[in-house]
Structure 1
């Protein structure tokens, strides 16, 4: 594993994408930063992180995602890798809030942003961005956020976490395509608020109740509505209220 450590950068994902465009990168090249000025989440959401407190990392992967239809399986494998590492630190009540926010009880402690590049020769490379709240303890303006330090009342070695997450990614990403069914089963078991009534709001601010049934192969959330209809929702079409 090649590791590039940066003090500050606008975005580790953008840095790694730019690097991959100019040179042949070793598979599972990792970039970390102590501070990220333009961190992004899903659909352009902002990822804020206190300088030097948290883990900001991006991983370059090639030749593992073979079919475009397996794109969401990559998200699943990444989310499960983070959960497996957190479990090894005894972080409790872990789940995945669709599509791939990592939760401990009702608090978000990590997020994932994967950006794929489809080449003309049919090959696919990916940059996997991970933000993990590690040692930050002040979330005054982020009531739904927490960290490993707050939850476990301890401090953690970020360098150790980088290695452990990269190692789990190698294992789980290798299962995409060959044993995706196992990944999907695990992801389904960890799905946040699955099977219980929960409120949602649409992009037009309409509030409704539904019960999460699972996630489709295309990555859409499957919700059972009060009129017994099963409806699939894409990113940003609905937001869970919890």
Structure 2
């Protein structure tokens, strides 16, 4: 496991996390910490298909085959990030509204980082958390039979300058966050996620419980964007907001275009 002996990166304490977060009536029903796995999303997806209860959370100190959106790889040194996947079963929400989880989850991560890290994290549509234009975290949601949703979160915590996989990558440490204690940040993320998820479920998935805060923390709305589409073409315009299905609306010279996450290969803001 690369970086396993790094004393500046202590392991997550599974017993401590369970004592803080797993309680009767709480969303989180089980927390497991793995030393290493190929993908926490794959572990949780298998558990979901086997009938695991909602609220399972699996974290890993190192992922050998972590994945991001569109099959992109997500690799970090051991214990330098929070790599975790959660099992949600929002059966009280109409299936047509489940895609809104893709906006709710990064919002919860950004809120947690702002609260305990005291840095100005924002959300970039569809599934990233940024500090200014630097990527701090990525989110990957997958539907599985059950029905269920597996929520994967990768959040850079102590990644150093010489470890960055890309010049646009950042971490809590690089941003001078108030804390880089992974247990503290993990607990904050799970609490913010549980609160927003329960509010959203209680509202039968009504987007209005997400949209006001999402607009406040958006790093995309109101900015000029260049969108790469799956066929290799590009769309340019100003991101004006979301439509009723959670698709990004881009105002172009040809009129407004609504884009779902699956319609976009890459989106970047332009001057």
Which category describes the TM-score, using the shorter chain as reference length? 0.7 to 0.9
- Listed as ranges, the gaps of 5+ residues in structure 1 are none
Q: Is the counterpart of residue 4 in structure 1 residue 28 in structure 2?
A: no
What is the aligned length? 236
Structure 1 residue 63: Cα displacement? 4.0
Structure 1 residue 140: Cα displacement? 4.4
- C-alpha separation between the residues in 1 aligned to 2:53 and 2:265? 38
- C-alpha separation between the residues in 1 aligned to 2:92 and 2:71? 23
Give SS of 2:153's match.
Answer: strand
Give SS of 1:3's match.
Answer: strand
Q: Is the counterpart of residue 230 in structure 1 residue 230 in structure 2?
A: no
- C-alpha separation between the residues in 2 aligned to 1:26 and 1:75? 21
Give RMSD over aligned pairs: 2.2
- C-alpha separation between the residues in 2 aligned to 1:217 and 1:41? 25
TM-score by length of 2: 0.79
- C-alpha separation between the residues in 2 aligned to 1:160 and 1:219? 31
Q: Is the counterpart of residue 78 in structure 1 residue 105 in structure 2?
A: yes
Assess if the C-alpha contact under 8 Å between 1:32 and 1:55 holds in 2: yes
The equivalent position to 1:181 in structure 2, one of 195, 198, 208, is 208
The equivalent position to 2:185 in structure 1, one of 161, 164, 171, is 161
Aligned to 1:151: 175
Structure 1 residue 118: Cα displacement? 4.6
Give SS of 1:51's match.
Answer: coil
Q: Is the counterpart of residue 37 in structure 1 residue 64 in structure 2?
A: yes
Aligned to 2:195: 171
The 1:162/1:90 distance shift into structure 2, 3 A limit, reads closer
Structure 1 residue 49: Cα displacement? 1.5
Q: Is the counterpart of residue 137 in structure 1 residue 160 in structure 2?
A: yes
Give SS of 1:89's match.
Answer: helix
Structure 1, residues 27-63: CA drift from partner, whole Å, max 9, x if none? Answer: 3111110110111111212112121111001111224
* Correspondences of 1:43-122 after superposition (within 5 Å): 43-63=70-90, 66-119=93-146
